[in-house]
Amino acid sequence: MDGAAASRRRFLQAGIAGGAALATAGAARAAGDPVITEVQDWNRYLGDGVDAAPYGMPSEFESHVVRRDVPWLTADPVSSINFTPLHELDGIITPNGLCFERHHGGTAIIDPADHRLMINGLVDTPLVFTMQDLMRFPRENRVYFLECAANSGMEWRGAQLNGCQFTHGMVHCVVYTGVPLKYLLEEAGVKTSGKWVLAEGADAAAMTRSIPIEKALDDCLVAFKMNGEALRAEQGYPVRLVVPGWEGNMWVKWLRRLEVGDEPWAQREETSKYTDLLANGKARRHTWLMDVKSVITTPSPQAPITHGRGQTVISGLAWSGNGRIKRVDVSLDGGRNWHEARVDGPSLSKALHRFYYDFQWDGSDMLIQSRAMDEAGFIQPTKNELRAARGENSIYHNNGIQTWHVKADGAVENVEVS
Amino acid sequence: EHDGAFKLGRAATEDEVAAWDMDIRPDGVGLPVGSGTVADGEVLYTDNCAVCHGDFGEAVGRWPVLAGGQDTLTDDRPEKTIGSYWPYLSTVYDYVRRAMPFGNARSLSDDDVYAITAYLLYLNDIVEDEEFELSNENFTDIHLPNEENFIPDDREQEAHYADKSEPCMTDCKPDPVGITMRARVLDVTPDSEEENTGG
């Protein structure tokens, strides 16, 4: 709030106090809710003009709707993660300023005039593009979720963090505008021996991942807009890779280079990291796809039921790297019985889906769960099924069914169930 | 200038490609000409790396452990290091040259990185001679212990995915469901000013 607005508010608050004193001294007050029966300051005094906020921010009453981090998760806030406040959001689109961040060398600040994208390796002509060049290719607009491979990773051993922001908030979903990666690769001319593409970032981590050429030529985008505006710096401004349905680590930000090769490169982020250790000591690599998943966002530990019994809305998100969500079921009794939820809004491939289950809460304890199914026929497993198959040390790719314990007072807790 | 459909972009020069294309593959493709010894690496490591990674790769605080942990991958708490987990030495060279030291990346010479890589082999008991010299000539002779333990993604064969039948809707468990673990017991969620659930 600027100084003028602050002083106006103090003036208005003084006015309210004076008005209240007059009302008490005078005739009987009108019966009813005083925010209706009394003239409020926003009914009387003028608000801000159109020149007050060239780039608008959320209402001050929404100041709690913010990304949060968990300091003990990482050694340093620069190579770290924060979390989207899923419990406060609805629909399927994440506001740009609330999209979770994951950096390995902090947010690179790059003037687009100084940014270059190089294509080299097994191509007919290695090329360099400026941002202006990229803006001259035919564009596409696509809505996709981006989920960190480590989303829910802290929950492999059991219930740890109390809130869906922390257990499931390494995900966001926006409209990307960009150039199909296929066009850029074809512009350089991929040789027939080219089977893999290495994507590399321009930040201090110089993030690199190997991507099979089939995926690169299928649906990957080189994106420069999110939700209509330029990428946020923390999301890769001026340009990032979009790898629909696949783990967020591969969506290389500040994209500066694409190399075509005949073998994968076995980079740090696909050997030491983003490989999934199994109970037998073997580790899966190239676990690219994010499997079918869902979570109830309200009620949840950060969003308890405060209205008491009666009509109640359960709201949640479902998504799958395999395509569209076919159905979401909701259980109120820890998975003994299930009810088909209502998916509302766009149902787009590899995007978040919003579901609702509307019911009469009788005020008793509940163990609420959601179970998503995707169009490829995959069904979201329980955490115990995942642990039986993989053990507890995979770190990544935990898409197990989440349970919230709703108590009689409406408080909600992250729990594991039998 | 090129045969692309849109005639956008320009040809990269050899020097430009050389400046940015620094990746190295397990078969040694990309390795620069150079060399460094374990003894040289110890000095460089102590000056540039030990403040975070510890004098012996054991790590300070929550910074990554680089050495040790052999034969812990089936333990309750595995220790995944270069020696115990990483499949390829190429990744060590590539990543150190690309992104380390944290906060001062690209500050080491190619020979420096060979020397530090040699010292990391020594810390992991993969080479035992302090005079050992690692170079682009002998690099691919070195194999890390865990190379053979990585497998392709076979998630679709897990029982819960392989069974694509309609899931149970009614009376799916014989007994009422019990709570086996609570997040509140651990109490590790960050606090906010207003409440104890961080928002």
pLDDT tens readout for residues A238-276: 999 999 999 999 999 999 999 999 999 999 999 999 999
How far out from the chain centre does Cα A172 lie?
Answer: 2
Round the average pLDDT of chain A to a whole number and report it. 94
Cβ <8 Å between A127 and B149: no
Are the CB atoms for A220 and A181 separated by under 8 Å?
yes
Round the average pLDDT of chain B to a whole number and report it. 93
**Is it the case that residue A6 has pLDDT exceeding 60?**
no
Q: Which amino acid is at A411?
A: A
Cβ <8 Å between A338 and B25: no
Nearest chain A Cα distance for residue B196, angstroms = 9
The answer to whether B72 contacts chain A (CB < 8 Å) is no
Q: Mutate which of B177, B187, B191, B196 to disrupt the A interface (most A C-beta within 10 Å)? A: B177
List, as ranges, residues 119-148 from B with C-beta within 8 Å of A. Answer: none
List, as ranges, residues 87-106 from B with C-beta within 8 Å of A. Answer: 87-88, 90-91, 94-95, 98-99, 102-103, 105
Torsion of CA A52, A56, A57, A59, to 10 degrees: 70
Cβ <8 Å between A415 and B180: yes
Q: What is the value of ipTM here, to two decimals? A: 0.93
Please name the member of A187, A257, A335 whose beta carbon is closest to the beta carbon of B172: A335
- Contacts with B196 from chain A: Cβ below 8 Å: 162
pLDDT by residue (tens digit) across B38-73?
A: 999 999 999 999 999 999 999 998 899 999 999 999
Spatial neighbors of A313 by CB under 8 A, at least 6 apart, are A298, A356, A357, A358
Environment class of residue A26 by beta-carbon count within 10 Å: exposed (0-12), middle (13-18) or buried (19+)? exposed
The answer to whether B169 contacts chain A (CB < 8 Å) is yes
The answer to whether B5 contacts chain A (CB < 8 Å) is yes
- Contacts with B84 from chain A: Cβ below 8 Å: none
pLDDT by residue (tens digit) across B144-189?
A: 999 999 999 999 999 999 988 899 999 999 889 999 999 876 666 7
Q: What is the pTM of this model?
A: 0.93
Residue with tokens 């060398």: A105
Quick one: which of A75, A84, A83 has its CA closest to A104? A75
Are the CB atoms for A191 and A260 separated by under 8 Å?
yes
Q: Is A336 helix (H, G, I), strand (E, B) or coil?
A: coil
- Contacts with A405 from chain B: Cβ below 8 Å: 179, 182
Spatial neighbors of A287 by CB under 8 A, at least 6 apart, are A149, A247, A274, A275, A276, A396, A397, B153, B155
Report the alpha-carbon angle B36-B39-B45, nearest 5: 85
Token code pair at residue B196: 């104890």
Average pLDDT, stretch A140-144?
98
- Contacts with A187 from chain B: Cβ below 8 Å: 2, 4-6, 8-9
Average pLDDT, stretch A350-367?
98
Cβ <8 Å between A286 and B88: no
Query: Half-sphere exposure of A41 toward its Cβ, with a 13 Å CA cutoff?
Result: 14
The answer to whether B15 contacts chain A (CB < 8 Å) is no
Q: Mutate which of B72, B156, B160, B169 to disrupt the A interface (most A C-beta within 10 Å)? A: B160
Average pLDDT, stretch A368-374?
98
Report d(CA B39, CA B122) in Å as an integer.
10
**Four-residue CA torsion sign, A293, A286, A72, B98:** negative
Structure confidence at residue A97 as a pLDDT band (50, 70, 90): very high
Token code pair at residue A125: 């002509």
The answer to whether B10 contacts chain A (CB < 8 Å) is yes
pLDDT at A22: 47
Torsion of CA A230, A270, A76, A161, to 10 degrees: 90
Report d(CA A242, CA A259) in Å as an integer.
16
Torsion of CA A223, A225, A227, A231, to 10 degrees: 100
Residue with tokens 């899931």: B167
Please name the member of B78, B98, B155 whose beta carbon is closest to the beta carbon of A277: B78
Cβ <8 Å between B102 and A76: yes
The answer to whether B86 contacts chain A (CB < 8 Å) is yes
